[in-house]
Amino acid sequence: MCRDFRGNLATDKVLFGFPGEIKIVIPGIFVVMLAGHMRSSFLRDALEVPTVLLPLRRSATVLEAWLEILDEAFVSEVCIALNLGSDTHIIDTAIRSITRKRAFRSVVKTVLEPAAWRGPGGVIRDLTLDLEPDTIIVVVEGNSAPVSSARDVISAVQGGADGAVGVCDSNSPAGISAFRRAIFEQVPKIGYFDLKEQLLPALHDSSFQVRPVSVLRGSSRIHDRVSYLEAIGRELSVENQVVTYSKEQAQTVIAETAVIDGKCLIESGVSVGDEAVVHDSVILQGATINKGAVVARSVVGQGVTIQAGSRVVNTIIGKRGMAPKSSRTELRRTKVNARSQLKPNSGATQL
């Protein structure tokens, strides 16, 4: 038997049926997604959206993409740990929307962990205190780009290791790891205790066996414009897409003379005017790119309006319609010939 995150006994095996098939949830695999923060990232502050709820491709946010990957690994429960009450409400709402669209094998819940000073290691210890020592705890960093599969990391622990850390091709952590619950007994009951800076070095110096597992090419953390655009570009490359938008999607208006070029993600409710150019950028829900404007390698927030003839390059324009001072914006309200600035990529496709 295993226990849920409140210590209640859970069933050994759960059968979940999809049309024409039966899926089995493997007991003893519990996920903690760390979606809180000691210091908010620049990207989150600028866009006023939790990182896990940023779109990653047209059909999925970062959270949805992670849930899909964890679902494929047959985990029984996903506990999203937060430390802001406002985030709890918005993420709970998103979870309800996600689970209405599709069924997951795992139970997905949020838990408010007000003791952010405990650090990631302390938070995980506290949340999993009542689980059996052999329970596999999968730790996911909610501000990280999803990996292609969680199975290799989990399999390393199922195969006998005490822990496994997913790494990028640069050997830096890739936002997913797995440990036997007993490992977290190394974490003090009180005080701050980090996962990467304190727990992993302590395990390295002990008799515990922790293995690195290669799971991701490129960087993992989504914390600024560059890392966010890189994550989207990687997702679109996996899906063999160049741009992801549809002129038929809800309330989206893309002018016939507009140029959508490179790896772009355009959400619903967006308007792109005549001769405007969008290149290697993200345009979030409800934004407007007026006639002749150029948006390149940038992120335009929800409901933001880019004036006609403006140039937005290498920056983030937040929900309030202003570019944060530290973003080194190149925003000039000068008329430009949009088509002369950037030529369309002949490989671009409309979905």
The rounded percent of the chain whose pLDDT value lies above 70 is 77
pLDDT band at 250 (very low <50, low <70, confident <90, very high): low
pLDDT for 162 beyond 80: yes
Return the minimum-mean-pLDDT range out of 150-154, 267-271, 328-332: 328-332
Domains by residue range for the chain, with CATH: 2-222 (3.90.550.10), 241-341 (2.160.10.20)
The rounded percent of the chain whose pLDDT value lies above 90 is 42
Average pLDDT over residues 5-29: 43
Give which of 189, 27, 168 is closest to 122, Cα–Cα: 189
Average pLDDT over residues 40-44: 79
pLDDT tens for residues 260-282? 988 899 988 899 999 999 999 99
299 and 317 Cβ atoms separated by less than 8 Å = yes
pLDDT band at 320 (very low <50, low <70, confident <90, very high): low
pLDDT for 347 beyond 50: no
pLDDT for 287 beyond 50: yes
Which pLDDT score is estimated for 114?
63
pLDDT for 333 beyond 50: no
Which pLDDT score is estimated for 83?
80
pLDDT for 5 beyond 50: no
Which pLDDT score is estimated for 273?
95
Which pLDDT score is estimated for 321?
52
pLDDT for 6 beyond 50: no
pLDDT for 42 beyond 60: yes
pLDDT for 290 beyond 50: yes
Strands of 299-300's sheet in order across: 243-244, 264-266, 282-283, 299-300, 316-317
Q: How far apart are CA 166 and CA 198, in angstroms?
A: 17
Structure-block tokens of residue 280: 């290697």
Which pLDDT score is estimated for 234?
85
pLDDT for 73 beyond 50: yes
As to burial, measured by CB atoms within 10 angstroms (0-12 exposed, 13-18 middle, 19+ buried), residue 20 is: exposed
pLDDT band at 241 (very low <50, low <70, confident <90, very high): low
As to burial, measured by CB atoms within 10 angstroms (0-12 exposed, 13-18 middle, 19+ buried), residue 6 is: exposed
80 and 36 Cβ atoms separated by less than 8 Å = no
User: Could you give phi then psi for residue 45, rounded to 5 degrees?
Assistant: -65, -40
pLDDT for 310 beyond 50: yes
Which pLDDT score is estimated for 125?
93
